Amino acid sequence: MSRIREKERRAILDSLRAGVVPRVGQQHIQVGRADEVEALLRDIHNIADGGSSIRFIIGEYGSGKTFFLNLIHSIALEKKLVATSADLTPDRRLHATGGQARALYAELMRNISTRSKPEGGALASIAERFVSESLKQARSSGESPVSAIHDRLGHLTEMTGGYDFALVIEAYWRGHDSGNEQLKMDAVRWLRGEFSTKTDARKALGVRTIIDDANCYDHLKLMARFVRLAGYQGLLVGMDEMVNLFKLSSSQARKSNYEQILRILNDTLQGHAEGLGFLMGGTPEFLMDPRRGLYSYEALQTRLAENRFARDGLVDYSGPVIRLGNLTQEDLYILLTKIRHVMAGGDESQYLVPDDALHAFMDHCHQRIGAAYFTTPRNSIKEFVNLLSVLEQNPDQDWRELIGTVEVQPDEAEEIEAMPAGDAEDEATTEPRQEDGSDDELQTFRL
């Protein structure tokens, strides 16, 4: 194991202590999932080669969907793709007529990331890189910059919405060339879907259309093509909390969103979306529920049905659905060793506890909350980080005395499992909660 930068160390430990998924340094606490990661690596190479892909990452609450999505997001950036992600909420979904689809698109564009800007907000730098690449081509070919940019953008005009998209990029170039920062800012605002009226867009940029609920997916395909023109390998779009579609009370709204998923699925599987990949994270209910899930839409059920030959321990990671299982006790032990390593900054000589302490801590958790401590171990990990923090700040304290005082409470997911059947069903079918992340996001910091 290598040394860990203090910035990453603090980010990982602060996230684990709060029970959320670290945004950086996931590789330091990755556990298992080798086959799943390998399957997604093949998808990334396919996208970089001009292909397309879609995967549904399915798992129970606490199975590690959010961590897995973030990990693949980081890998995509290292492979020179542009990556973005967003959680679906009651105000953000794939299809709508009241601005919710545009809100999802705007969130994706705000979170768009590159290797040099992994924290998001990279749309302007992508446009700048496109301009730089165009100027480089103009110098090598001897043509004018305007002609080079116009020729390169010609590849976009053949796509739905591509003409105005190309006009906006040309407006960005004019702003770049003339030093008009307002024009550049307006172009980026349009690309982010932040213009709410066509009148404002026409006044600012001379275009007659805006990004709205009806054309968000078309503009994702345009963006994928554009980032490739800018010199990147492709675009990977991650969408978590897809269960919010399952929770929609209107059957027509669910059907419209599922039809949009079907359109995306058909385009990606047939290779009609160049350099574009999708990752969609959801629960088994979102996938398989016959009344409200994806399986309630027959065309999706046919396309997403599991391989009947993959049974009795056999696996198939070539299909669009990847199921994530829970951690084993061995996985949790390895995770504890990695957290100990992170706490020590990667220096084995600075370990705060020996291996015996890890076994003692796991035994203690098992006695307190039973076998669920390693299948949904959010609070177990939180308390382990707290234990190490106390030992770090009180070096004279013996870990044996502290472990007996650790209070580990059952996860909320376990409490739901313990509810009567009727109450649990009500919980599963309620409207989406108005919050930034679900319980799943708070628990799935592990693979």
Mean pLDDT over 237-253 rounds to: 95
Mean pLDDT in residue range 163-169: 95
Together in a domain, 319 and 331: no
Q: Is 71:44 a contact under the CB 8 Å cutoff?
A: no
The pLDDT of residue 98 is: 93
Do 237 and 116 share a structural domain?
A: yes
> Does residue 145 share a domain with residue 181?
yes
pLDDT at 2: 67
Residue 217 confidence (pLDDT) above 50: yes
pLDDT digits (tens, 9 = 90+) for 273-285: 999 999 999 999 9
- Cα–Cα distance for residue pair 155/149, rounded to 1 Å: 11
Section 282-311 average pLDDT: 92
The pLDDT of 151-167, averaged and rounded, is 92
pLDDT of residue 297: 95
Domain with residue 319: its CATH number is 3.40.50
pLDDT at residue 380 is higher than 60:
yes
Regarding whether 93 and 75 lie in a shared domain, the answer is: yes
The structure's pTM equals 0.83
In a domain, 427, yes or no: no
In sequence order, what are the residues at sequence separation of 6 or more whose Cβ sits closer than 8 angstroms to the Cβ of residue 306?
319, 321
Q: Is pLDDT above 70 for 412? A: no
Cα–Cα dist 123/114, whole Å? 9
CB-based contact 109:262 (threshold 8 Å): no
Can you give the three-state secondary structure of the chain, one letter per residue?
CCCCCHHHHHHHHHHHHHCCCCCCCHHHCCCCCHHHHHHHHHHHHHHHCCCEEEEEEECCCCCCHHHHHHHHHHHHHHCCCEEEEEECECCECCCCCCCHHHHHHHHHHHCCECCCCCCCCCHHHHHHHHHHHHHHHHHHHCCCHHHHHHHHHCCCCCCCCHHHHHHHHHHHHHHHHHCCHHHHHHHHHHHCCCCCCHHHHHHHHCCCCCCCCCCHHHHHHHHHHHHHHCCCCCEEEEEECCHHHHCCCCHHHHHHHHHHHHHHHHHHHCCCCCCEEEEEEECHHHHHCCCCCHHHCHHHHHHHCCCCCCCCCCCCCCCCEEECCCCCHHHHHHHHHHHHHHHCCCCHHHCCCCHHHHHHHHHHHHHHHCCHHHHCCHHHHHHHHHHHHHHHHCCCCCHHHHHCCCCCCCCHHHHHHCCCHHHHHHHHCCCCCCCCCCHHHHHCCCC
121 or 381: whose pLDDT is higher? 121
pLDDT of residue 404: 66
Q: Residues of the chain with pLDDT > 70: what percent?
A: 87
Rounded-to-integer distance, Cα 76 and Cα 202, Å = 36
Look at residue 425 and tell me if it is in a domain.
Answer: no
Please report the pLDDT score of residue 438 as a whole number. 41
What is the mean pLDDT of the segment spanning 414-420? 39
The answer to whether residue 423 sits within a structural domain is no
**Residue 422 included in any domain:** no
Cα–chain-centroid distance for residue 409?
Answer: 28
pLDDT for 252? 96
What pLDDT score was predicted for residue 443? 39
pLDDT band at 373 (very low <50, low <70, confident <90, very high): low
Please report the pLDDT score of residue 405 as a whole number: 57
User: What is the C-alpha to C-alpha distance for residues 343 and 357, in angstroms, rounded to an integer?
Assistant: 15
If asked whether residues 66 and 105 sit together in one domain, one would say yes
Tell me the C-alpha distance between 56 and 268, whole Å: 13
Q: Which amino acid is at 120?
A: G
Please check whether residues 3 and 129 belong to one and the same domain.
no
Q: 394: domain range?
A: 1-31+327-413
Quote the CA–CA distance of 393 and 293 in Å, as a whole number: 49
pLDDT at 32 over 90: no
Average pLDDT over residues 307-336: 84
Q: Is the dihedral of CA 221, 226, 229, 230 positive or negative?
A: negative
Q: Are residues 87 and 17 in the same domain?
A: no
Q: What is the pLDDT of residue 17?
A: 86
- 219 falls within a domain: no
Number of domains in the chain: 3
106 to each of 18, 118, 174, 337, 403, how far by Cα in Å? 27, 17, 24, 39, 47
What mean pLDDT comes out for the span 310-315? 78
- Tell me, yes or no, whether 75 lies in a domain: yes
Amino acid identity of residue 284, one-letter, is P
Task: State the pLDDT at residue 324.
Answer: 85
pLDDT surpassing 80 at residue 223: yes
How confident is the model over 97-111, as pLDDT tens digits?
999 999 999 999 999
Average pLDDT, the chain: 86
Q: Are residues 6 and 38 in the same domain?
A: no
* One domain, residues 149 and 112: no
C-alpha span between 391 and 336 (Å, rounded): 15
303 in the same domain as 243? yes
Over 50: is that where the pLDDT of 421 sits?
no
Q: Which residue do the tokens 């993959």 mark?
A: 310
* 84 and 12 inside one domain: no
Closest by CA position to 375, among listed 77, 120, 63, 161: 63
The yes-or-no verdict on residue 166 having pLDDT over 80 is yes
Band of pLDDT at residue 407, cut at 50, 70 and 90: low
Residue 47 falls within a domain, yes or no?
A: yes
- Which amino acid does the sequence have at 33? R
**Rounded Cα–Cα distance for residues 178 and 172 (Å):** 10
Q: Is residue 59 part of a domain?
A: yes
Same domain assignment for residues 60 and 27: no
Least confident window among 34-38, 164-168, 169-173: 34-38
- Residues near 283 by Cβ (< 8 Å), separated by ≥ 6? 58, 59, 60, 61, 243, 246, 440
- Range with the lowest mean pLDDT among 23-32, 36-45, 416-425? 416-425
Q: Is the pLDDT of residue 371 over 80?
A: no
Q: State how far the Cα of 130 lies from the Cα of 113, in Å rounded to an integer.
A: 15
Residue 428: pLDDT over 60: no
